[in-house]
Chain A
Amino acid sequence: MRLYAVVAAGGFRRYATYRTATAAGVFTNTVFGFIMAYTYTALWDVRPQLGGYDTSQALTYVWLGQALLMTSALMGGGFESELVERIRTGDVAVDLYRPADLQLWWLAADLGRAAFHLLGRGVVPMFLGALAFDLAFPGSLWTWPAFLLSVFLGVVVSFAIRYLVAMSAFWLLDGAGAMQMAMLAGLFFSGMLLPLNLFPGLLGEVARALPWSSLLQVPADVFLGKHTGWGLARAYVFQAGWAVVLLGAGRLLQTAATRRVVVQGG
């Protein structure tokens, strides 16, 4: 356990090193936040209460999206390209001999990365957004820890998806295609383009049931107070359920792949 805490701290520090890059990223998140906020305003001007959000809730959704873009790695990024590279070159064989679990190791590192991005690239754009627009901050203090738990579960789901993508490299060797597909799915089904409540009919129902909705839509709804009481518990169960299923699938693939590596002699 202590080992993984150290790995997580390492993940945090690693991203904290790039200060100029973080500042540049904050700038980008803020610019995109402004552009999206104006388009959402135009949309909600015509249809107030669209998707069950009022205008300030819709604007809050925009800035939450910018805050979680890097945190929950909605478009991918973080560890998976590194792991794919280690699989391709065979370096992963060394990792497998280490007295640490491969999946937990990378999960810990990714949690550290997410924690840094939440602080480094989430808080400042949100603050700047709040200066320029009328945002809907939680009325109850309890909403904040509830939101953070939901973000945490979202990051774990995001990790589990990206771990599966990386594992595919054992069979495909080149992970570029799988990573790109995962990026497209993440962008579309997380609710980054538009809240999933606004997706029409069956597409909306499917999108809300898929794991990617844990990454942005669910945490945003927790923040906006859409899930309370049993509804909040249901939201957590939804996120944790996907996390368990996907982590389990990742573990299965890892076991299968490890056997393959041994058969091939590394």
Chain B
Amino acid sequence: MKNILKPVAAFVTGLLVLTSCNNSTKQSNSKSGALASNIAEKVYVSPGEHDEFYAFISGGYSGNLTVYGLPSGRMFKEIPVFSQFPTSGYGYSEETKPMLNTSHGFVPWGDSHHPDISQTNGEIDGRFIFINENNTPRIAKIDLQSFETTEIIEVPNSAGNHSSSFVTENTEYVVAGTRFSVPIPQRDMPIKDYKGNFQGALSFISVAPETGDMDIKFQVLMPGFNYDLSHPGRGKSHGWFFFTTYNTEEASTLLEVNASQNDKDFIAAVNWKKIEEYVNNGGGTMMPAEYAHNVYDEHTHTATSTIKKEVRVVNPTDVPGAVFFLPTPKSPHGCDVDPTGEYIVGNGKLSANLTVHSFTKMLDAIENEKFDGEAYGIPILNFEDVLAGTVEQPGLGPLHTEFDDQGNAYTTFFISSEVVKWKVGTWEVIDRKPTYYSVGHLTIPGGNSRKPQGKYMFAMNKITKDRYLPTGPEMEHSAQLYDISGDKMELLLDFPTHGEPHYAAAMRADIIKERSKKIYNLEENNHPYAAKSDADTKVVRDGNEVHIYMTTIRSHFSPDNIEGIKVGDKVFFHVTNLEQDFDVPHGFAVLGQNTSELLIMPGQTKTSVWEPTKVGVWPFYCTDFCSALHQEMQGYIRVSPKGADTPIKWSMGEDIE
């Protein structure tokens, strides 16, 4: 009997152990209870507390840039860049219309893609953020004190400004590589003659160290491939820039098939320091070109647009040793350089493996002139000679890679909807996590610098499906935030993003939050139509133009009654906000206006044009709830018939005499 009991007891004990093991496993996988609330705590930012990171997420077809907080995923602001924005009057007010001027005229929309923050010594300095516009090639600069777009430069000879706007490690240059090759200069020619006749321009836009002023220093006119994405070298590879290409087939129709024939396309490695030296010594030629350069002056609160007439172009074959091609399988999309500057990851989007090139091996191959032919005079290096390693079969459809501060890389896989973490140098896969769904770019704060700031990674997905309450056929895209501080990635949060986010730039909040501007100093307002006190307000007729110098302060407009306007007049409301208190803007709108309202920050002047078409007495009012007496903040403007002799008169506080 004893003999029987023993094994039974052992069996029962074994079961208990197994069961309790099972229970504990179940608990750790459970999405409810104490552990789930632990995840919630990781993204919870208490009322009144601040997020640890800023994330600047491109809006794609919204044309704008949105500002988020991490880890909360809360959206703080939408910064208008390439699109008109009625929320603030950007692109509608007379002062900001020039920002959207191009050589094609006023372009009120853009397709914004890749934001990148300025750097000093390879580290994020938080002074400016640059972002590209794909459709009508432009690069914008946003000042991270005012969080406003302050400069936009159009990129000539370019089309589909996609491999942009990444900055070198001292913000010497912002690049703007063309996605589509085009005839340079543009001309009327048969499309079928693309091959050998179209060219791709890689533009290097210099950034003045103190002011941040941008200028196109030179363009490298490359063979007619598609230049998809780019990345600056850093550390040891500082001085080089890397661009992925596709359509090295130079097909011009049904690219889905015809640009996917070559087993390998290229990463173009450009030694920009060498070309810069060549240009500084008078190299390159000035080519006629037409492009707009728009600059916003914070003191006049006004943008000016200048059309430039020429650009310096460089033929890469004229600068031997400056440009090389690294064969990369197949149709590489993302082009990412690790924080040390040694490894260049080419994410072949149709390849089963991830290709990583070695900068050291590349230099060695160049030095030993181990070339495998050339393309349009540009040497092609041997694939094996530059290969550092491959990450074997990590997933389907690799797109983009970012790096943490621990020597790991994180690559997004569009087709298999996942992020894969792998070790730089050993190429072994460490972890993988699903995304929901079809991930494009991913971002790690500081990930585009020599010193990634780690802690979080977020993936920007193209498809939202069942992640939130449905909002009809159109839904905001979803982003997902992961904790990457441990060995395994942990999904923390889903949050919606606005437009179609591509890349994002993120950084520690403390670098910039104290520098954020609170008001514009009224004494420094040099707007030509500013009224700095109620005593300066007036209405001036100049032919059929009427200029109204108007002020706002809680809770009135001055003047609030205006007469003598006639049908057919062009009325300029120049509205100065006299407030000098943080977060007290005033709005302005007049009935029947064909533009948008204005939102005027403290100390700022903005101008709205109104061309009255109907006789009457029309109200105007403040659109931003400003004080206890916001509803009373209003006025009237009297419009008389064309040719009437109603004299110009204005008043505030008493009846018009």
Q: Are the chains A and B members of one assembly?
A: no
Binding site for B on A (CB under 8 A): none
Binding site for A on B (CB under 8 A): none
